[in-house]
Amino acid sequence: MAQQIADRRDVDFVLYEQFDAESLTQHERYRDMNRKMFDMVVSEARNFSIKEILPLNEEGDRVGLAFENNQVRVPESFHRAYRLLCEGEWIAMTEDPEIGGQGLPHLIAQAAAEYIVGADFSFGAHGFATHGAAKMIEVFGTGKQKEMFLSNMYSGRWGGTMVLTEAEAGSDVGNLSTTATRNPDGTYNITGNKIFITNGEHDLTENIIHPVLARIEGATAGTKGISLFIVPKIWVNEDGSLGEPNDVVCTGIEEKLGLHASPTCQLAFGGKGNCRGLLLGEENKGMRVMFHMMNEARLGVGALGLFNASCAYLYAVNYAKERLQGRDLSEMMNKDAPQIPIIRHPDVRRMLMWMKVHAEGMRSFVYYVAHLFDRTECAGDEEERTRLQDLVDLLTPVIKSYCTDRGFECTVQAIQCYGGYGYTRDYPVERLMRDSKINSIYEGTNGIQAMDLLGRKLGMKKGAVFMDLLGEMQKTVSAARQAPGLEGSAEKMENAVNQLGNLAMHIGKTASSENFRVAFAHSMPFMDVVGDTIMAWMLLWRAAVAAPKLEKAVGRAEGEARAEKIRKNKNAAFYEGQLQSAAYFIESLLPLTLGRIQSIQADCRAVVDIPEVSFGG
């Protein structure tokens, strides 16, 4: 079976029919661009993905990495694809052309990233992390640092990482023990051991630039005493040329469940007392700088949840159309009845539908946030810019946590659709499941994201940002009321939005009362409710766009005549799929979310009250 990646029809629907990407060209920033150009970018990304990146999965997963003499070798096939990634300028899609970028809108770059990063994250992580590290230097670096690093990183000639984690400092970054001491020449000496560093060592690039969190000797404990340093694997002279190797040694790589071609490295900085770094930003303000990269990475990892879900769904739906097994329900007793493709069994359709609605809902959600970045850049006044940026901040933990959890669950459902074959290495869905599990763990575990949503984001501007989000949902409810046949769904959605508002007030109050532990014991269920409601919102929005177009395509035809028209018209079939997705989510899944709202409001104390000894173990 052909390797699967994002459905182009759905990508185009979200870009042009849901979010009207073409209208971006009316803004000064994108004045010289047009639809044709956007289409070309997405098509090139898709072709590159299908021809060069998807095929890497096989060797990457089965052969993986080689580690010898403190050096990591990536699979041979990665080298050609990486060269093409750099030549295609895919690393800095949204950056200004003057600094080596393509100057594209975030919305279009998101679609391209779905093809390039989503095809194989062992490979995609190279561009992903390098971009994040370079962006930090672009935003917080000195003029000299930008000159020294930016073009070589955005072009992909040098790789980038993010270096936070230590054995005793995982979720609790503030507990790190890596130290920095000032040198007379303005550089800093870095000493410490880091673990789990993605792409900390490899042979794809001539240099690797590590942004390293460390504490300057004498600085206060906790996150407030942390600074950030640019630590090149090979020292970079002020004129940008390469100097001596720096004292950074890869002492080992992890053996992992998935992402077998992605080096997860243990790095020793300053083992010989000779590791130099440059301060990025101000002393003791490193976390503020690093959060820039972490937020970008959280959105990027959340998007991976969508990418995994989308691939898993497409594999499952194609398999289900081909695999013959069992007879039609109406022919159960007829031994002579022919076997049917499993897609005709209602329970298989249920699984496919579950994957379909989540893949589509997440695509709209992830692209919506990308579009918020564009709208922020194009906004006419400061107040609107702040409002849109606040929405991005509020939604970042939701994208990270909800999408990665649902993405993983979609890969599990895909295995279930395949039956026993799905559990074998003969089919790609078991690899997808293994590769996608990490997404809920790194870039801040999903548990920590849920705490962030409840503890920080919900209360932003005294709850006004959350209320603004609910207001955005209401706009879709109003639009859906005007669309043919969506009155009932709009009403149910409105009820869910109101209930979410009540829940937010309830759990917000509990979180700031003496019962705060009870609230935080429900932070993940609250995250699920927020994410589910966003799915319903996005799917209703899609349906409101699709309904009039479908009506136009099939006219007043009913029954078999209507079905026939839908079978014969690809666009009509797509729009009908949108109506069915919204109906399924709102009728079948949203009531479960409403039940979850009730369960959170019941403030069950068991999780908090159970004595540790009663856990057994």
Ligand X SMILES: Cc1cc2nc3c(=O)[nH]c(=O)nc-3n(C[C@H](O)[C@H](O)[C@H](O)COP(=O)(O)OP(=O)(O)OC[C@H]3O[C@@H](n4cnc5c(N)ncnc54)[C@H](O)[C@@H]3O)c2cc1C
Neighbours of 381 (CB within 10 A): 8
In terms of Cα–Cα distance, which of 161, 140, 146 is closest to 288? 140
Please select the residue that binds ligand X; options are 108, 164, 216, 500, rule is CB under 6 A. Answer: 164
Record the tokens describing residue 46, joined without a space: 């898709």
Measured at the CA of 528, the angle between CA 476 and CA 486, to 5 degrees, comes to 25
Residue 140 near residue 292, CB atoms below 8 Å: yes
| Helix H or strand E encompassing 129 | helix 121-140
In terms of Cα–Cα distance, which of 428, 436, 435 is closest to 316? 428
CA 186 to centroid of chain Cα atoms: 38
Rounded Cα–Cα distance for residues 26 and 418 (Å): 47
* Binding-site size, ligand X (CB under 6 A): 19
Please select the residue that binds ligand X; options are 109, 148, 162, 480, rule is CB under 6 A. Answer: 162
**Per-residue contact flags (x/-) with ligand X for residues 526 to 565, judged by CB under 6 A:** ----------------------------------------
State which of positions 3-22 bind ligand X (CB under 6 A): none
382 belongs to the catalytic site: no
Q: Give residue number: closest CB to ligand X.
A: 170
Task: Collect contacts of 368-376 with beta carbons under 8 A, ≥24 apart.
Answer: 368/19, 368/538, 369/299, 369/395, 369/396, 369/399, 370/106, 370/107, 370/109, 370/110, 371/19, 371/106, 371/107, 373/94, 373/106, 374/24, 374/105, 374/106, 374/107
State which of positions 253-312 bind ligand X (CB under 6 A): 256, 264
Q: Stretches 196-204, 280-288, 406-414, 418-426: which one binds ligand X (CB under 6 A)?
A: 196-204
Please identify, using beta-carbon distances, which residue of 201 and 374 lies nearer to ligand X: 201
Residue 586 near residue 540, CB atoms below 8 Å: yes
Minimum distance from residue 203 beta carbon to ligand X (Å): 18
Query: Is residue 455 at the binding interface for ligand X, with CB under 6 A as the rule?
Result: no
Query: Is residue 445 at the binding interface for ligand X, with CB under 6 A as the rule?
Result: yes
The secondary structure of 558-584 as a DSSP string is -HHHHHHHHHH-HHHHHHHHHHHHHHH
Task: Collect contacts of 612-617 with beta carbons under 8 A, ≥24 apart.
Answer: none
Single-letter code of the amino acid located at 539: L
Cβ within 8 Å of residue 175, ≥6 positions away: 166, 168, 169
Please select the residue that binds ligand X; options are 11, 134, 163, 293, rule is CB under 6 A. Answer: 163
State which of positions 386-425 bind ligand X (CB under 6 A): none
Minimum distance from residue 55 beta carbon to ligand X (Å): 23
Minimum distance from residue 451 beta carbon to ligand X (Å): 6
Minimum distance from residue 523 beta carbon to ligand X (Å): 9
Minimum distance from residue 179 beta carbon to ligand X (Å): 17
Residue 542 near residue 583, CB atoms below 8 Å: no
Using the 8-state DSSP alphabet, how is residue 98 labeled?
G
Q: Stretches 14-22, 108-116, 143-151, 161-169: which one binds ligand X (CB under 6 A)?
A: 161-169
Minimum distance from residue 266 beta carbon to ligand X (Å): 11
Determine if residue 265 is left, alpha or beta; phi over 0 gives left, psi from -120 to 50 gives alpha, anything else beta. beta
Query: Is residue 441 at the binding interface for ligand X, with CB under 6 A as the rule?
Result: yes
Q: Stretches 81-89, 389-397, 443-451, 569-577: which one binds ligand X (CB under 6 A)?
A: 443-451
Classify residue 307 as exposed, middle or buried by CB count within 10 Å of its CB (0-12, 13-18, 19+): buried
Please identify, using beta-carbon distances, which residue of 168 and 609 lies nearer to ligand X: 168
Please identify, using beta-carbon distances, which residue of 130 and 593 lies nearer to ligand X: 130
State which of positions 490-519 bind ligand X (CB under 6 A): none
Minimum distance from residue 298 beta carbon to ligand X (Å): 11
Query: Is residue 466 at the binding interface for ligand X, with CB under 6 A as the rule?
Result: no
Query: Is residue 463 at the binding interface for ligand X, with CB under 6 A as the rule?
Result: no
Four-CA torsion 453, 455, 460, 464, nearest 10 degrees? 80
Please identify, using beta-carbon distances, which residue of 23 and 175 lies nearer to ligand X: 175
Minimum distance from residue 262 beta carbon to ligand X (Å): 7
Please identify, using beta-carbon distances, which residue of 102 and 161 lies nearer to ligand X: 161
Four-CA torsion 14, 19, 23, 28, nearest 10 degrees? -110
CA dihedral over 90, 91, 97, 98, signed as positive or negative: negative
Q: Stretches 56-64, 191-199, 203-211, 567-575: which one binds ligand X (CB under 6 A)?
A: 191-199
Record the tokens describing residue 38, joined without a space: 């956007």
Please identify, using beta-carbon distances, which residue of 90 and 442 lies nearer to ligand X: 442
In terms of Cα–Cα distance, which of 537, 581, 524 is closest to 400? 524
In terms of Cα–Cα distance, which of 258, 411, 309, 315 is closest to 3? 315
Please identify, using beta-carbon distances, which residue of 80 and 517 lies nearer to ligand X: 517
Minimum distance from residue 449 beta carbon to ligand X (Å): 9
Rounded Cα–Cα distance for residues 168 and 153 (Å): 30
Please select the residue that binds ligand X; options are 222, 252, 447, 463, rule is CB under 6 A. Answer: 447
Rounded Cα–Cα distance for residues 450 and 380 (Å): 33
Please select the residue that binds ligand X; options are 30, 121, 196, 307, rule is CB under 6 A. Answer: 196
Which is catalytic among the residues 114, 138, 201, 443? 443
Residue 495 near residue 474, CB atoms below 8 Å: no
Please select the residue that binds ligand X; options are 103, 170, 225, 459, rule is CB under 6 A. Answer: 170
Q: Stretches 2-10, 159-167, 318-326, 404-412: which one binds ligand X (CB under 6 A)?
A: 159-167
Please select the residue that binds ligand X; options are 198, 308, 364, 436, rule is CB under 6 A. Answer: 198
Cβ within 8 Å of residue 503, ≥6 positions away: 526, 529, 597, 600, 601
Please identify, using beta-carbon distances, which residue of 168 and 564 lies nearer to ligand X: 168
Query: Is residue 165 at the binding interface for ligand X, with CB under 6 A as the rule?
Result: yes
Minimum distance from residue 242 beta carbon to ligand X (Å): 23
Query: Is residue 438 at the binding interface for ligand X, with CB under 6 A as the rule?
Result: yes
Please identify, using beta-carbon distances, which residue of 184 and 617 lies nearer to ligand X: 617
Please identify, using beta-carbon distances, which residue of 151 and 445 lies nearer to ligand X: 445
Please identify, using beta-carbon distances, which residue of 67 and 427 lies nearer to ligand X: 67
Active site residues: 443
Binding site for ligand X (CB under 6 A): 161-165, 170-171, 196-198, 256, 264, 438, 441-442, 445, 447-448, 451
